[in-house]
A and B are shown apart, each in its own frame.
Chain A
Amino acid sequence: MSTAAEVSVELNGATVVARLTGEVDMANATYVHDELLRSVPNDAVALVIDLGPTRYLDSAAIALLFDIARRLGTRRQALRLVMPPDSPLERVLTLTEMGSVAPIHETLASALAG
């Protein structure tokens, strides 16, 4: 079991904020996927995934984000991502058109405001 990534969760009103720290790749994508889904109760309005402390995402990680967006969508819950302007992740999120399923905010405050 890779422990290269950690998920820490806190509640902000009816919105769940999950900070994703470290590196996510095919070795730990399933773990991260399950941790994120588990963090969202049925009565939550939205999940905000903070990618500020994330150092690496590969296509398996992108796939898990797409899957979470789909699942939350069927539950009428929103997914929003936080990615600071100078993040090295920018290219991969752009190339995979991540923005098409989850809006990408530059700050946590803006993501919480929706």
Chain B
Amino acid sequence: MAGGDGERLGRSARQQVAVAELGQQALGGSEVDELFAGVVEAAARELELEFAALLELTRDGRLLRRTVHGLPMETVGDVLPPGEDGLPGYALRVDSTVVVDDYASEDRFVKSAMQQQLGIASAVAAPIGARGRHFGVIVVSCREPRTYSPDDVSFLQSVANVAGAAVERARADDVVRDSERRFRELADTAPALMWMTDPDGHVIFVNEGWLRFTGRTLADELGDTFASSAHPQDREELVEAWDQAIKTRDEFRHEYRLHRRDGVYRWVLEVGVPRYVAGEFLGYVGTATDIDERKAMEESLRASEHAFRELADSAPVMIWTTDADGLVTFVNRGWLEFTGRTLQDELGDTWALGVHPDDVPEVDAKWTGTFAERDGWEHEYRLKHHDGEYRWIFERGAPRFEAGRFAGYAGSATDIHERKTMEERLRQIYEREHRIAETLQRSLLPERLPVIEGLTMSARYLPAGHGEAIGGDWYDAVELKDGRVAVVVGDVVGHGLRAAAAMGQLRNAFRAYALVGSSPSEVMGRMNRLTIGAGDDTIATALLLMLDRETGQLTYTSAGHPPALVVGRDGTRFLEDGRSMPVGAADAAVFREGTAVLEGGETLVLYTDGLVERRDIPLDRRLEELAEVAGSGALELEDLCDRLLRRLLGEGERADDVALIAVRAEPAALQRISLRLPAEPDALLGLRRRLARFLHSAGATEAESYEITLAISETCGNAIEHAYGPGDASFQVEVELDGDELVASVRDSGSWRKSRGASHRGRGLKIIDGIMDSSDVVRDERGTVVNMRRRLSAGVPA
């Protein structure tokens, strides 16, 4: 009998090893199919049975044969019809492992067609599934009646558990991937839930997105409603966090479940920041982001981690011991299989062997301290796998004592690489989410303007003086794809929440349409149709202009808005063209356009009527005042805005809110021109535009401007026609003023000589000679330079 026991113990030990190996395979992130193949093979081998199969439970409740051992390969993919699913179906229904020692005495179910065909006499089936969710079933069988030991049964259950854990892991990975995709979509479409409160924490605004989500009306949401849509279990904590934030005026950040219109509670991340205007605390503005997917993923991650922990605990995969000096005295096979080294390599003073260089200092310091104190050891670090990749492992150890004397440490290690990398991805998702929330936030706060090269901008917003903290005025500026800049200022008729909500929509519409539209009238037309389509009787005035920074060319349309003011060197002018109906007034409104040129150093002032409207003074008179104040002396833009507000509004209460934006084309480019241009004919048009602006600001007459532009262009034409060879197909143009004389030079890297006869190049040189007071050509090894001078009749303005 001793021999029989020994044999049984030997089989039990082998079975345990097999489970440990499968567990390691699952932890190592093997493909599910590969793992299943290992599972059925190990089950048949360790139980010494002829047949094994793994069946998957499909969505519609049928069983699909997915992996087989000993059975014909063509049976893979077979579906067991309901009612004829025999032992496997029964095992799932009773949710436990079912043993058939002998089919001859079985009456709970009938043999499947295949079992009959193969003459199966006995079988065991174990359900695969974690947390009550069945994935399928594993079945082993043979042609003779047989008695199965409790070890055999528990072995098959263990194998089924490994398979179940692997499936869970694979699904958790899918959830991570799916969630990332969703977040990307979210970032693209930004279906924001937004809200705003007053200083007392009462809700004074929620956006369309919020109302769509909760299915409530604006009236339901306004007032002392904070947390009213939160899950009852989350409410107390939410209110506490909110009270704390508003007391300290800190940023508010909280996760809770919010009631959706379909009755489902969804996890949301709510972020709020205090808003201030002119230093005065006005309440909070915030967003909520649906993070339900992420929460679900975290939950499934926790569950699958738990399953793995249990598995790892029952199968210590990598084991090591040290002596009292800390020298390694033993590592087990699992360790050697991981590192791919021999036992000889591992023994001795080898603790740093294979540890990731970045982790060595920390492991060293911690291990030295732990060892000296004979403390328990617990650490995560990266260890080199035999495939060359570093993998995260979790190591745990304890001091050993023999006869009361310290004898060294014994420890084990688990491969936690998959979990670690998943945590990293989760962290990235969190970060992205926060970025999205913050971006949405910014879009509602009007205090920021983009930085646009070649322009300086400054803006102000002042709420109305009393009660009505929110108005419908706004301004914005965006850089368009073609390099132009679109600037808008607008005023939604009315005050309060509706005006603010409509303003938010128009502002967003402007941003979106400006990026795809090509002209102010087109963009305004789209904003008009959107407003009419909303059907809430919103009326707004707006002034929208597009500025070409290269040429200073302005195109604008005014939807019933007061005219923009240009503050120039020689005084001010209003842009009075492009007058059209207000936005929202008529479906078929046509938005006319006006054009103008903004010279370098000139300033555009756009404003809302709150700046100029006063009941006791006619508007014309007020516009004159505006021009006078704006035109009295050059100022930095910030100072100009302050002065306009101070002088035009005075100290009294404001009845209306005011938006003001000033845009100045930087004059620096007009002091001189220094351009490197490609040696292509198409470069000439842009150059002529630059020259025209330069010459205009230099006080040249129209004829002078034309002639000088022509002469410089002709010189450049030569450079273009003579550009050849490898090297650098470009040329350099420099233009500046020397007293009342214009000095220009064009340098190229080719060498050219004066042509003779009647070719157009000859004419070109004739033109240059005829127009310029002097011109000379210098050739050196680097190329050719043409220097030209011409006196301007009007002289140079100071």
- Which of B172-180, B272-280, B603-611, B679-687 is the contact stretch? B679-687
Q: Is B760 an interface residue (CB 8 A)?
A: yes
**Which of A26, A27, A95 is close to B767, meaning CB atoms less than 8 Å apart?**
A95
**Residues of chain A having any CB pair with chain B under 8 Å:** 2, 4, 23, 25-27, 56, 58-60, 62-63, 66, 88-92, 95-96
Per-residue A-contact encoding for B400-415, CB less than 8 Å = 1, 0 else: 0000000000000000
- In the assembled complex, the CB of A3 is this many whole angstroms from the nearest CB of chain B, namely 10
Contact of A95 with B685 at beta-carbon distance under 8 Å, contacts A56-B710, A58-B710, A59-B717 already known: no
Contacts of B758 in A (CB 8 A): 66
> What residues of chain A lie closer than 8 Å to B705, measured between beta carbons?
88
Across the interface, B760 reaches (CB within 8 A) one of A2, A62, A88, A89, namely A62
- Within 8 Å by CB of A95, from B706, B721, B759, B771, lies B771
Bound form: Cα–Cα A4–B709 in Å: 16
Q: A62-B763, A96-B763 are in contact. Are A23 and B703 (CB under 8 A)?
A: no
Task: Pick the most buried of B682, B709, B710, B759: most chain A CB atoms within 10 A of its CB.
Answer: B710
Q: Are B713 and A25 in contact (CB under 8 A)?
A: yes
A-B contacts, 27 of them at CB < 8 A, read A2-B682, A2-B685, A4-B685, A23-B688, A25-B681, A25-B713, A26-B720, A26-B721, A27-B681, A27-B685, A56-B710, A58-B713, A58-B714, A58-B717, A59-B761, A59-B764, A60-B760, A62-B760, A63-B760, A63-B763, A66-B760, A88-B705, A88-B706, A90-B703, A92-B767, A95-B766, A95-B767
Partner of A59, one of B682, B714, B720: B714
Other contacts beyond A27-B685, A58-B764, A95-B770: 9, CB < 8 A: A23-B688, A56-B688, A56-B709, A58-B767, A60-B760, A88-B702, A91-B771, A92-B767, A96-B766
Q: Contact check, A88 vs B703: say whether CB atoms are below 8 A apart.
A: yes
Q: Does more than half of chain B's interface fall in helix, strand or loop, or is it mixed?
A: helix
- Nearest CB in chain B to that of A91: its residue: B707
User: In the complex, what residue of chain A is closest to B717 when comparing beta carbons?
Assistant: A26
Q: Give the contacts of B659-700 with A (CB-CB under 8 A).
A: 681-682, 684-685, 688
Question: Is the Cβ of B703 less than 8 Å from the Cβ of A25?
Answer: no
**Closest chain B residue, CB of each to CB of A62:** B763
Q: Tell me the nearest residue of chain B to A90, going by C-beta.
A: B703
Q: Is the CB of B763 within 8 A of A59?
A: yes
Scoring A4, A60, A89 by chain B CB atoms within 10 A of each residue's CB, the highest score goes to A60
In the complex, how many angstroms separate the beta carbon of A78 from the nearest chain B beta carbon?
A: 21
Annotate B743-781 by CB proximity to A: 1 below 8 A, 0 otherwise: 000000000000000111101101100110000000000
Query: Do A60 and B685 contact each other (CB < 8 Å), given the known contacts A92-B710, A92-B767?
Result: no
Which B-chain residue is minimally distant from A1 (CB atoms)? B682
Which A residues are CB-close (under 8 A) to B717? 25-26, 58-60
| B684/A91 in contact, CB under 8 A | no
Q: Are B682 and A27 in contact (CB under 8 A)?
A: yes
Nearest Cβ on chain B to A42's Cβ, whole angstroms: 27
When distances are taken between beta carbons in the complex, the residues of chain B under 8 Å from A25 are: 681, 684-685, 688, 713, 717
CA distance A26 to B714 in the complex (A): 9
In the complex, chain B residues whose CB is within 8 Å of the CB of A23: 685, 688
Q: For residue B760, which residues in chain A have a CB less than 8 angstroms away from its CB?
A: 59-60, 62-63, 66
Tell me, in angstroms, the Cα distance from A89 to B771 when the chains sit together.
12
Chain B residues with CB below 8 A from A95, complex form: 766-767, 770-771
B707 CB contacts on chain A under 8 angstroms: 88, 91-92
Interface contact A91-B688, CB-CB below 8 Å: no
Given the complex, which residues of A lie within 8 Å of B771, measured CB to CB?
Answer: 91, 95
State in angstroms the CA–CA spacing of A84 and B452 once bound together: 42
Determine which residue in B688, B714, B763 has the highest number of CB atoms from chain A within 10 A of its CB, and name it: B763
Q: How far is the CB of B720 from chain A (nearest CB, A)?
A: 7
Cβ contacts under 8 Å, B702 to chain A: 88
Residues in B neighbouring A91, C-beta threshold 8 A = 703, 706-707, 770-771
Chain A to chain B: the 10 pairs with minimum beta-carbon distance, closest first: A63-B760, A27-B681, A88-B706, A59-B764, A95-B770, A59-B763, A26-B681, A59-B760, A96-B763, A88-B703
C-alpha spacing A60/B764, complex, angstroms: 8
Are A56 and B706 in contact, with the CB atoms below 8 A? yes
Which chain A residues border B763 with CB–CB below 8 Å?
Answer: 59, 62-63, 96
By beta carbon, the residue of chain A nearest B760 is A63
- The answer for the CA separation of A4 and B687 in the assembled complex, in Å, is 13
Distance of A66 Cα from B757 Cα, bound (Å): 14
Of chain A, the residue at the smallest CB distance from B683 is: A27
Please report the C-alpha to C-alpha distance between residue A60 and residue B682 in the assembled complex, in whole angstroms.
Answer: 14
Shortest Cβ distance from residue A49 to the other chain B in the assembled complex, whole angstroms: 17
Decide yes or no: A59 and B706 within 8 Å by CB, A2-B682, A25-B681, A26-B717 being known contacts.
no
Residues of B near A2 (CB, < 8 A) are 681-682, 685
B129, chain A: closest CB distance, angstroms: 68
Of all chain B residues, the one with the shortest Cβ separation from A27 is: B681
